[in-house]
Structure 1
């Protein structure tokens, strides 16, 4: 529905409701600058929204032109929308930007593609937009200026209860063959004082999280440290997320981070592979040993959530070398291990070398890898399922004591998860709801036949209760909590310092859960070496992963 007084309608199709689209706000900012007499309307939708309802909503919203930002994750959804919108609204211009806009083909006649950065698109685009004479393609360059596009009302409207994205720099110092950032060389940094001013405005809105989209936040360590210090002093309870190069930490940075409150920062760390031949082939430079040591130091703080990435399907990566990379990353004990498939993105060096590397990949976004010269499709499928098992079982707080034990005894973690994968396949795990109880039962059965199975089952019971469950599942064959409480009512003194006094004794027995553990299991759980009854209290522990506090009762 087009009219001369209708607004420009900027539509973002995000992956989740909690996400927002930074590009949408940049486009609004530029439209307001160049066409200040025109109104701009924003809609934030998701790829999970019912398609037909979304289409009707867009058709019924008056618009002078409709804008979309196209990414690998919303590419198919947007393609459907523009094809159907062109049928219903044949006279309404459809403007497409974003990294995947140029990959859309056979576009309806009213579509316009803008490549590059909206700040550098040039005045002709806005004159054509105003006159209704848009060309099919506009090529924009790079802009030296990219001020934060938000206005105060955004935080109570479009951005309320959503993640907030912020850009302190554009570009990346690396030239990784698989990454779109490698196409545009160099890094452009905002002035530090401007960053502090803009962040002050964002912090005042008290968002749930500020995600820095800088491709390598610590490419300039002194600059990164200055921003961290500013945030530590001013961000209050706001959490800040950064993409970090793990081998670019200085001692000054590592000395500062222990002073930051728990959960103030989150770090996403790209390892991608520990195979040197692979790293060289994708033009990724990294000191693997230094990266590992820095991650260990950060993990020892237990105040910063660490998310470490590996990529499945890179050149020269075999099943064996991928297993070695996984084992090395697992040994670092990060909170989250993301095992992502290689995406062979158009225009990247990886796409140009696809024939040389034998890359077979999906024809449509997100262009996932299917096979390489070093992994056939069967191996790729098996390793993808392995990654799914790690995603389900590892990337939560459910079984941390078990994983710590595997590290302690230097177990082959890749082999452990491979055995677990076999059991998951036999029991139809991927067709079931991946609940805590289902995963706990599968692990309980997996470890039961091992020589140390009884010990590991004790640790699994410990992990279950410290996650807040009030009793153990029946398959654990443990005494009922009521039975234990009845016994403790007779045995416990009227007062036990640090746990209860005579006035709180009854409430203590109601609220706490109990589990008898062997001395060896207690030692592995870090609770001493003398066997005893462990009490699980509702109060939360400190650290990134929060659990019930635990103490060993001397009864």
Structure 2
């Protein structure tokens, strides 16, 4: 056992339940038995290099003195430059300490990081870092002079790895985040798919799982500590159907009080999985990326639109909460193609639709093929696409504008339960509506996030209602507006009671029992058959779901 000390630095891109230094803790726990003096330093990119360096320096100064010290950095696209600057400041102040780095950026683009190339790091670790770091630290602790090097790492048997959660190294991370103390859980490494834009396709693609004993111990840990939410990091949780069902049964047995989030492949979904996801109350994220089979095939993702819809229909039938991902700027994709993808995705009724501009990540197959598609992209993180042969810079900006409108109106505006009902009488496609909303926001000179309190959802709802009011008036559908107002405001109040615990009083034009209990989804049919019945209601949080009471 060594009395040398180690510090692992993780700089998060944002605060929240997913801000967990799991990668650093996984590597640290593997060397903990030989180097028990380990500390984790968590920081955020908005702190800046000087503050993070000062925190690191203070942490090292306050620690129990040791013979030697090594500092490790986890490098991702969002923190590469900042981590390098902090490491340079540290190297200048403490030239005798060993600095090393790992993470996706080291694996994909090591240039400029090593001291042999003017960078601050003596050792770079590519791939899975546990075994490689143990070798490096053993040589360093023995007094061996370490030449600048790039070490390769891979772990074939995950049962050899101790649990970062049970090691105690992440206790500080949980306690520091208090109310937002979610957890990341790595059950499997490797991805059998070969998406050309993804780092995973160049890593160890063999599926490897943690031991059953560790699984049970970590699950008990989350349950005992009442962790509110757990994001399962497996790139494709349902790659092995039998294993996925077994895990879901275990979570149903022990972890019903935890909110579980999984990334799954739509084509591998089945009714048994969906029923368990629904019973667990889990949420799923599914990578559609594009609804153009040709574009999808070019990035290594065969796509059968009919089969994809069939699988998503199962989720909707079973009441599973799910979101979809789309990317714009993929090889040979166009603005019109992207708009069709948005329409296809919205018509699948996702609970949210996350849209991203393509990043051409170094080290991926796509980066090697980028010239073939005329791609011009940022040379530094996050490597976003600037233009391509099929997607001009102007059209990328138009796509980004559409993505902002979708996020504001559909996601943050919580339009999911009423969107199609309100859209239908307008006789417009989803993208037509979103682009009209973008025009509305431009006319009001409203930046997408300006003057809106994120903790007060009605501020978004008011803008959406103002937009819908003008649109229905313009299309001479003013007679539907009382019902539109009721539908949007009621669902908004219900969501606020459920998510934020906020009570809302609403002056309704129709009796909610009549509006929502009739089973009529067509607003024109409803308004033709129903008589207005003004009333005042209050929607408030309840024990299981929101409660509605009539005030007049």
If the TM-score is normalised by the length of the shorter chain, which range does it land in? 0.7 to 0.9
- The answer to whether structure 1 residue 195 and structure 2 residue 215 are counterparts is yes
SS in structure 2 opposite 1:25?
Answer: helix
Which residue in 1 is equivalent to 2:500? none
Which residue in 2 is equivalent to 1:372? 388
Question: Which residue of the other structure, out of 288, 291, 300, is the alignment partner of 2:308?
Answer: 291
Q: Deviations over 1:396-438 (max 9, x none)?
A: 3543454122564563111111111122223222262344234
- The answer to whether structure 1 residue 230 and structure 2 residue 250 are counterparts is yes
Range with greater deviation from structure 2 (218-227 or 280-289)? 280-289
Equivalent residues of 1:244, 1:267 under 8 A apart: yes
1:297/1:542 Cα in 2 relative to 1: closer, same or farther (>3 Å)?
farther
Which residue in 2 is equivalent to 1:168? 187
| Gapped regions of structure 1 (runs ≥ 5) | 470-509
1:70/1:405 Cα in 2 relative to 1: closer, same or farther (>3 Å)?
same
SS in structure 1 opposite 2:189?
Answer: strand
Q: Deviations over 1:476-512 (max 9, x none)?
A: xxxxxxxxxxxxxxxxxxxxxxxxxxxxxxxxxx985
Which residue in 2 is equivalent to 1:138? 150
TM-score when scaled to structure 2? 0.83
Which residue in 2 is equivalent to 1:124? 135
| Gapped regions of structure 2 (runs ≥ 5) | 62-68, 453-458, 495-502
Q: How far is the alpha carbon of 1:456 from its aligned partner? A: 4.6
Question: Which residue of the other structure, out of 418, 432, 451, is the alignment partner of 1:433?
Answer: 451
1:252/1:468 Cα in 2 relative to 1: closer, same or farther (>3 Å)?
closer
1:179/1:513 Cα in 2 relative to 1: closer, same or farther (>3 Å)?
same
* Structure 2: distance between partners of 1:542 and 1:90: 58
* Structure 2: distance between partners of 1:197 and 1:60: 34
1:197-212 equivalences under 5 Å are: 197-212=217-232
Question: Which residue of the other structure, out of 235, 238, 242, is the alignment partner of 1:218?
Answer: 238
Range with greater deviation from structure 2 (409-418 or 229-238)? 409-418
* Structure 1: distance between partners of 2:366 and 2:200: 12
Q: How far is the alpha carbon of 1:96 from its aligned partner? A: 0.8
Which residue in 1 is equivalent to 2:73? 68
* Structure 2: distance between partners of 1:314 and 1:408: 30
SS in structure 1 opposite 2:14?
Answer: coil
Q: How far is the alpha carbon of 1:309 from its aligned partner? A: 0.3
1:156/1:355 Cα in 2 relative to 1: closer, same or farther (>3 Å)?
closer
Question: Which residue of the other structure, out of 89, 108, 114, is the alignment partner of 2:125?
Answer: 114
Question: Which residue of the other structure, out of 291, 297, 321, is the alignment partner of 2:337?
Answer: 321
* Structure 2: distance between partners of 1:215 and 1:365: 22
1:270-349 equivalences under 5 Å are: 270-302=287-319, 304-349=320-365
1:65/1:525 Cα in 2 relative to 1: closer, same or farther (>3 Å)?
farther
SS in structure 2 opposite 1:468?
Answer: helix
Q: Deviations over 1:77-120 (max 9, x none)?
A: 21221222222232222211000025251443553211111223
Range with greater deviation from structure 2 (446-455 or 416-425)? 446-455
1:444/1:91 Cα in 2 relative to 1: closer, same or farther (>3 Å)?
farther
1:401/1:267 Cα in 2 relative to 1: closer, same or farther (>3 Å)?
closer
Question: Which residue of the other structure, out of 47, 50, 55, is the alignment partner of 1:49?
Answer: 47
Equivalent residues of 2:349, 2:416 under 8 A apart: no
Question: Which residue of the other structure, out of 480, 485, 506, is the alignment partner of 1:513?
Answer: 506
Q: How far is the alpha carbon of 1:279 from its aligned partner? A: 0.9
SS in structure 2 opposite 1:128?
Answer: helix
Which residue in 2 is equivalent to 1:451? 476
1:210/1:139 Cα in 2 relative to 1: closer, same or farther (>3 Å)?
same
Equivalent residues of 1:402, 1:459 under 8 A apart: no
* Structure 2: distance between partners of 1:62 and 1:518: 65
1:53/1:140 Cα in 2 relative to 1: closer, same or farther (>3 Å)?
same
Which residue in 2 is equivalent to 1:158? 173
Q: How far is the alpha carbon of 1:165 from its aligned partner? A: 1.0
Which residue in 2 is equivalent to 1:383? 399
Q: Deviations over 1:437-482 (max 9, x none)?
A: 344434443444223255256424542354339xxxxxxxxxxxxx
Q: Deviations over 1:340-374 (max 9, x none)?
A: 11111111110010000111111111111111111
Which residue in 2 is equivalent to 1:497? none
1:55/1:442 Cα in 2 relative to 1: closer, same or farther (>3 Å)?
farther
Equivalent residues of 1:26, 1:149 under 8 A apart: yes
Equivalent residues of 1:249, 1:294 under 8 A apart: yes
Which residue in 2 is equivalent to 1:240? 260
SS in structure 1 opposite 2:157?
Answer: coil
Question: Which residue of the other structure, out of 184, 192, 196, is the alignment partner of 1:177?
Answer: 196
* Structure 1: distance between partners of 2:488 and 2:542: 13
* Structure 1: distance between partners of 2:548 and 2:515: 17
Q: How far is the alpha carbon of 1:189 from its aligned partner? A: 2.7
CA RMSD between the two structures: 3.0
Which residue in 2 is equivalent to 1:503? none
Which residue in 2 is equivalent to 1:40? 38
Q: Deviations over 1:265-303 (max 9, x none)?
A: 11011111110110110011233322222223323444x
- The answer to whether structure 1 residue 405 and structure 2 residue 410 are counterparts is no
Number of aligned residue pairs: give it: 502
1:22-37 equivalences under 5 Å are: 22-33=22-33, 35-36=34-35
* Structure 2: distance between partners of 1:368 and 1:300: 37
* Structure 2: distance between partners of 1:256 and 1:27: 33
Which residue in 1 is equivalent to 2:488? 463
